[in-house]
């Protein structure tokens, strides 16, 4: 079991959680790529039992996965609510809001 693999995964997860907390889309995309790359060596270890000295690090990695999941669910719910409010606001307008050929709102 590679200590470097689990440490790389934890660092990538911490970067992802930080990017989600900042609500920074480009940073989230970068962090997801880094996470995917850091996950590959850990997946290669599938089936191996972690040595006792790394069990705490694996527990940390699992906690970070859960932290990221909670943030993704929160952001998805917030986005859905914003879209619902925008749809409700759009339905209450008398005319459709559109731009004319002159670039002005009709």
Are the C-beta atoms of 68 and 14 separated by less than 8 Å?
A: no
Distance from C-alpha of 70 to C-alpha of 13, rounded to nearest angstrom: 13
Q: From the CA atom positions of the chain, what is the Rg in Å?
A: 21
DSSP state of 105: B
Give the least confident one: 9-13, 27-31, 35-39, 83-87: 83-87
Distance from C-alpha of 52 to C-alpha of 55, rounded to nearest angstrom: 5
Residue-wise pLDDT for 23-79, tens only, equals: 999 999 999 999 999 999 988 878 778 788 888 998 999 999 999 999 999 999 998
Are the C-beta atoms of 8 and 41 separated by less than 8 Å?
A: yes
pLDDT, residue 3, reads 87
Residue-wise pLDDT for 20-39, tens only, equals: 999 999 999 999 999 999 99
């Amino acid at each position: 079991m590679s200590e470097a693999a689990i440490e790389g995964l934890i660092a990538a997860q911490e970067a992802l959680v930080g990017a989600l907390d900042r609500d920074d889309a480009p940073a989230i995309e970068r962090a997801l790529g880094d996470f995917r790359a850091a996950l590959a060596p850990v997946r290669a270890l599938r089936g191996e039992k972690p040595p006792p000295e790394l069990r705490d690090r694996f527990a940390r990695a699992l906690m970070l996965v859960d932290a990221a999941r909670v943030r993704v669910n929160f952001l998805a719910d917030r986005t859905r609510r914003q879209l619902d409010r925008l749809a409700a606001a759009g339905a209450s307008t008398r005319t459709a809001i559109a731009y004319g050929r002159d670039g002005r709102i009709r």
